[in-house]
Amino acid sequence: MLFVLVGCITKEYSFKVLNENIIFEQSETQFHVSMLKDKVQVFLGEKETNFDAVSYSGDIDLLKVGQYEISLNATNKNKVSKLPLVINVVDTVKPEFLVFENEFLIYKNELIQMISDYFFINLVDGPNGIINERISFEGSVNKELAGLYPVTLIGQDLSGNKVEHDVNVRVTDIIDEKAMYLYQRAIKAAHGETLVFKKNDPSLQIINFDTAFNVFTPNYRSHFMWLSGINGTFNPKQSGVQLFKDHDNMMYASIKPSMDADKYVGTSLSIQNEDEGYRHYIATSTYKNNEETFTRIYKFIIRELDGIWHVEEFYMPY
């Protein structure tokens, strides 16, 4: 009697690249080999299988634009299969302007520039965060002549993706008009409407902390930070501060408004006195409760620092 022993053939893994040009968009996502499933097919023997047995070697960082060389590895018993791959991480997404003002106001001959240090302008470049240093503008503004000047803000990231935003710049020769502009900007800043938060960050990190409160002088800015408890991150449970809006790309924080917030009508300013570099105003805020109207009076001071007017003292009207 003749016996024939038939050996068991060990199947090998193999790979088929569906597209030689493998590209990933820049992101904060941690790379995982399964992200290649629509770019590479895996076979065990002749049967297509999943990526469960596939690992990779080499370095790849989806947060950094560049070219990366990795190797896919799969082992079945003692048979090792490898596939070298070149992966390109690219940035093709335009940055986004977050401009928190409808019109920029400049006092005649004020030494101000069209950058985020002076206006509520932010250029956000996805995972790269704030890139305000890459803001420029097209247009001409004559700061010696009162008038309205249309300009175009231009933002361009390191990959060359460009975005534009049209805005009006108004030059005024009326200092009290500048004071009211600063007062309204101070309310916006105190509401937290100028804050930009890192997206999907549970710690609520403020990514434009350096410029969000540029309407205030450095002295009052420090006082405001102490008052509000905002220090680069945001704690909704912290006394005096609350989260009150949630947008797609940002969230707003605010000093808790008083019970009269819904009754607030507006504020008028009247000059009290002025001295070198300072203007002291009486801010009269009006409120309406049903048919009853009442007012409150606050102090408001603006100060000229290095040729630019800022808010030196401010009290929220609500």
Sheet holding 264-275, edge to edge: 264-275, 278-289, 292-305, 308-313
Instruction: Show Cβ contacts of residue 171 under 8 Å, excluding neighbours closer than 6 positions.
Output: 105, 106, 107, 108, 141, 142, 143, 145, 146, 147, 149
Return per-residue pLDDT of the chain as tens, 318 residues.
Answer: 444 445 557 789 999 999 889 999 999 999 999 999 999 999 999 999 999 999 999 999 999 999 999 999 999 988 999 999 999 999 999 999 999 998 999 999 999 887 778 999 999 999 999 999 999 999 999 999 999 999 999 999 999 999 999 999 999 999 999 999 999 999 988 887 888 887 777 767 788 888 888 999 999 988 877 766 666 555 544 434 444 444 444 444 444 455 566 788 999 999 999 999 999 999 999 999 888 999 999 999 999 999 999 999 998 887
What pLDDT, on a 0 to 100 scale, did the predictor assign at position 237? 43
Q: What is the DSSP string of 277-293?
A: TEEEEEEEEEEEETTEE
What class is the 96-255 domain? mainly beta
What's this model's pTM, rounded to 2 decimal places?
0.81
**Tokens 């956000």 belong to residue:** 124
8 Å CB contact between 41 and 55: no
Q: How far apart are CA 277 and CA 258, in angstroms?
A: 32
What's the one-letter identity of residue 281? Y
What class is the 13-90 domain? mainly beta
Q: How far apart are CA 220 and CA 302, in angstroms?
A: 11
What pLDDT, on a 0 to 100 scale, did the predictor assign at position 205? 78
**117: its two tokens:** 């240090």
What pLDDT, on a 0 to 100 scale, did the predictor assign at position 136? 94
Q: How far apart are CA 30 and CA 72, in angstroms?
A: 17
8 Å CB contact between 195 and 126: no
Quick one: which of 128, 80, 107 has its CA closest to 310?
107
Q: What ranges do the domains of the chain cover?
A: 13-90, 96-255, 261-313
The distance from CA 110 to its chain's CA centroid, rounded to whole angstroms, is 28
96-255 and 261-313, same CATH topology: no
Residue 313 backbone phi and psi in degrees, to 5 = -150, 135
Q: How far apart are CA 225 and CA 167, in angstroms?
A: 30
What class is the 261-313 domain? alpha beta
The distance from CA 295 to its chain's CA centroid, rounded to whole angstroms, is 37
* pLDDT digits 0-9 by tens, 254-309: 444 555 667 889 999 999 999 999 999 999 999 998 889 999 999 999 999 999 99
The torsion of the CA quartet 252, 205, 315, 306, rounded to 10 degrees, works out to: -120
What pLDDT, on a 0 to 100 scale, did the predictor assign at position 241? 44
**Contacts of the segment 112-121: beta carbons below 8 A, 24+ positions apart:** 112/143, 112/307, 112/308, 114/141, 114/151, 114/153, 114/169, 116/208, 116/211, 116/214, 117/211, 117/214, 118/214, 118/308, 119/214, 120/185, 120/188, 120/189, 120/194, 120/211, 120/212, 120/214, 121/97, 121/153
What pLDDT, on a 0 to 100 scale, did the predictor assign at position 240? 42
Quick one: which of 155, 220, 263 has its CA closest to 228?
220
